[in-house]
Copies of this chain bind each other. A is one copy, B any other.
Amino acid sequence: MIILFGLFVRYDEESDAHWSEHKHENNITSDIENDFYYRYPSFQDVHVMIFVGFGFLMTFLKRYSFGGVGFNFLIAAFGLQWALLMQGWFHSLDPADGQIKIGIENIINADFCVAGCLIAYGALLGKVSPVQLMVLTLFGITLFAVEEYIILHVLHVRDAGGSMVIHTFGAYYGLTISWILYRPKLNQSKNLSGSVYHSDVFAMIGTLFLWMFWPSFNSAIADHGDGQHRAAINTYLALSASVLTTFAISSLSAKRGKLDMVHIQNATLAGGVAMGTAAEFMITTYGSLIVGFCCGIISTFGYLVITPFLEKYMKIQDTCGIHNLHAMPGVLGAVVGAITAATASESVYGHEGLVNTFDFKGEYAERTPAMQGGFQAAGLCVALAFGIVGGAIVGFILRLPFWGDPSDDNCFDDEVYWEKCSLVFPSI
């Protein structure tokens, strides 16, 4: 990794000490115009989502909290280095000297890229070894970079919050791998696959940091100015609608109206996933609420009905329920994005606003909103194809016998991979 960085990676003009001269040449009058100040607060929020959000959301299992937060940390730290290289080769290669120029936007994108692999980990939580996770990440990041290049650059699709690129791809990648690694006798360790009281409270830390900072996730790489502003507001609204419907459906579906913590930890977030594409568009405030409303219903319903169905009939064991939180809302988000794009008009966006929002510039100056809608839909198909085909290939690689995966008895148990944790854990 060090050698590759040494050969290929350099600072971009905004993080290089030549910035003073760059300012003079481009008549930039103030340091505050450095992209760093536009994006750094959102970057840190995204960073928190990746490490604390995903990490703590996965501590809910009673004896796999170390594995949840610890392996999440490992995957993320490994993945973001690899992502800087992979995404750099596709997006930030300077044709003048053949080197990757990195700045704040690259490290946000690396965090996004890692998010795809962490989603996939959600389906496999407790059932794979750290080595398998490294392999999953290595291939996942590589596939992600290619998929992202095709969607964002070849098809020129807009997907600032990654409904397609991150969530749809990551979820189907993980689900396909989980399908191939199906363990028919997993019920043997079923007594460990639940939560205890305090592990559920730990998981709420993850949920809340994901929930709060999702507006930053969807706005982090949106356009300066109104784009970032609007993306944050739309996501905030969709998320708040998801919470209400999740509480309502969770309570209505149970005997005596009791709430299920699994729903609250997960389905409340579905609105953010589904706004990944359309957040920066003029989807309107009530449009955002409708999206959040629908996602809360779909996602809670998924936990109640679809996850047991997938496990029983489709042989897909999905530990965290990523099908409900990422796959379905991701696809929905892509569809919403395509429709919103297809119906965009100059009267709503203004001429300049339309050009800026959809980046109808250069070779894309002739594209119309209707065409853009079609390309958005095509982007969804690419994401699905990469997730499923890529997941199948990586799944078969992970089935090779030398990766040290835990036996069925040892699933969902930290004792296999962590020192001393068994001694200090009282009988629960």
| Residues of A that sit less than 8 Å from B by CB | 1-3, 5-6, 9-11, 14-21, 23, 30-38, 40-42, 44-45, 47-48, 51-52, 55-56, 59, 62, 65-66, 69-70, 73-74, 77-78, 80-81, 102-104, 107, 130, 194-198, 200-202, 204-205, 208-209, 211-213, 215-216, 224-226, 228-230, 232-233, 236-237, 239-241, 243-244, 247, 251, 254, 257-261, 264, 268, 282, 284-286, 289-290, 293, 348-350, 352-354, 356-357, 416-421, 424-426, 428
Contacts and interface: CB of A to CB of B under 8 A. Distances in A.
Contacts of A426: 428
Q: Is the interface of A mostly helix, strand, loop or mixed?
A: helix
Contact of A36 (B45, B229, B418): B229
A285 B59 CA distance: 33
Contacts of A425: 196-197
Contacts of A348: 17
B73 A107 contact: no
A59 B353 contact: no
Given A201-B66, A282-B11, A419-B254, A19 B259 contact: no
A369 to B, nearest CB: 12
Contacts of A5: 237, 285-286, 289
B243 A52 contact: no
A91 to B, nearest CB: 16
A2 B286 contact: yes
Contact of A107 (B6, B14, B205, B233): B233
A289 B78 CA distance: 12
Contacts of A416: 258
A185 B360 CA distance: 69
Given A201-B59, A229-B104, A289-B1, A38 B37 contact: yes
A16 B62 contact: no
A15 B226 contact: yes
Contact of A52 (B19, B198, B205, B260): B205
A211 B70 CA distance: 13
A16 B226 contact: yes
A81 B353 CA distance: 27
Given A11-B230, A14-B229, A18-B349, 15 more contacts: A1-B289, A35-B229, A47-B212, A56-B205, A73-B211, A74-B243, A74-B244, A78-B243, A196-B424, A197-B421, A198-B202, A258-B419, A260-B419, A261-B418, A261-B419
A45 B45 CA distance: 10
Contact of A352 (B20, B204, B293): B20
Given A74-B247, A107-B236, A69 B201 contact: yes
